[in-house]
Amino acid sequence: MNTIFSITRREINGYFATPVAYVFIVIFLIMSGLFTFYMGGFYERGQADLASFFDWHPWLYLFLIPAISMRLWAEERRNGTIELLMTLPISTSQAVLGKFLAAWIFTAISLILTFPMWITVNYLGEPDNGTILASYLGSLLMAGGYLAIGSCISSLTKNQVIAFVVTIAVCFLFTVSGMPIVLNFFSGWTPQALLDTIASFSFISNFTDLTQGVIDIRNIIYFISLIIGALTLNVISINSKKGI
Amino acid sequence: MSVLIEVDRLTKSFGPFIAVDNISFSLKRGEVLGFLGPNGAGKTTTMRMITGFLSPTEGTIRVCNNDVAKYPLQIKEKIGYVPEGAPLYGEMTVLNFLKFIADVRKIPNSKLDDAIDNAVKKLGLELVLYQQLETLSKGYKRRVGLSQAIIHDPDVLILDEPTDGLDPNQKHEVRKLIKEMASTKAIIISTHILEEVDAVCTRAMIISQGRMIIDKSPKELLMGAPKGSTLDDVFRDLTIGQSEVKK
């Protein structure tokens, strides 16, 4: 456990030792503000809630999270530091978890820094703060899902650009799998049960359920198992490179 | 003296290419083994297998009487390793980097300062402690790489071209350091510089095309050769001969 935290600490310090952290946080805050006020129509809706803020999170994450996850392993491979890391007394799972946790905590920090939004809506009206809390939780879980997928893909290449682009593509599929763009392709020739399964993989529908203020254990299980699954593949991918 | 490294019929192939071909040797405490050979001979691959970074296609490796394949973590605790090119986390400062390594190596807090002090002094890093690694000169980077390898006072040291990029004085210092540590450890170094073998190694192993051609002391290597020849001549004879036979 301590080993995992040593790695996490090193990674987080690494984010803040370079401009990466600051650039990311600033862009994240500006973008989420733009989306909420202009595209989400925060004022026009005339409702004291943060739906116009959270509704854009899947799309915001789709492009910003791969920017964090792409370097997790690809950079280690490119710089050769992976040889240093994997010859220390650290198991692959510890390294994968440590790095993932660092990226997740970093995302959580960015998310917490959107608190002025919460203050604003509480100043303007009387929102349901329980719903807002559930939405934040949902957003964090969803970010974890994107990150885990990104971390896994990053371990397959030493090229960060490839990791970035492929992660966006895969995450896009997960994001929209409940939408007509995917479902229309399958409907008509696949049984309804399969169609429902595909739809249930959607980040958006699982996330939207949580933003309604209903903390459904199924949505939480969905994101957690997705994270575990992706990180398991991540470990397998790193271990398999030993054999080649 | 106790045997610390036992390599038995070690083979590694990457697809059809055989990088390491049936190499066996063992190394006792107090011995310094020099890996010699042309580029691509399989030196780095062999070292990567001993340190557990790559797994062998065939054969076994035992370090401190434990099988590397079975107890990778226990063995990694006993080894200090400088990978080829001494890769480092560029954004960290020297001190933070050494603290991280000490932390992961589970050096207890009570001994932490001593361990870091010792590693810093031995490699002369006092002046750059708070500098970012990526801003250091090649020589300093290499020395930081060496200091992280000895911070936990390991039984086994594996150094892949440890003096590459150092100036003559620094080379001399590193060789002195290796000699100082030699009596208590088993050390493997790979190098292109033959005088280095003469200076620090008790054994020299020449590897070419994945195979071990010779495993002798540097003196014995010279004895078989015509009078007046240097280690360079012996090396050239052996490795050029080898590649011609292959053709």
Residue-range domain boundaries for chain A:
2-243
SS3 of A148, please? helix
* Domain range B3-246, CATH class: alpha beta
Whether residue A124 lies within 8 A of chain B, CB to CB, comes out as no
Residues A15 and B92 sit within 8 Å (Cβ to Cβ): no
Output the pLDDT for position B247: 35
Question: Each residue of B139-183: pLDDT tens digit?
Answer: 899 999 999 999 999 999 999 998 887 888 888 888 999 999 999
**Which of 159-198 (B) contact A at CB < 8 A?**
none
Nearest residue on chain B to A243, alpha-carbon basis:
B55
Structure token pair of residue A27: 């862009």
Place of tokens 């006020």: A37
pLDDT in tens, chain B (247 residues): 688 999 999 999 998 999 999 999 999 999 999 998 888 889 999 999 999 999 999 999 999 999 999 999 999 999 999 999 889 999 999 999 999 999 999 999 899 999 999 999 999 899 999 999 999 998 899 999 999 999 999 999 999 998 887 888 888 888 999 999 999 999 999 987 878 888 899 998 988 888 888 888 877 777 766 666 677 777 777 777 554 444 3
Length of chain A: 244
How far is CA B126 from each of CA A140, A148, B140, B171, rounded to the nearest angstrom?
A: 43, 40, 11, 18
SS3 of A225, please? helix
Whether residue A18 lies within 8 A of chain B, CB to CB, comes out as yes
Asked if the Cβ–Cβ distance from B92 to A7 is below 8 Å, we say: no
Structure token pair of residue B41: 């001979």
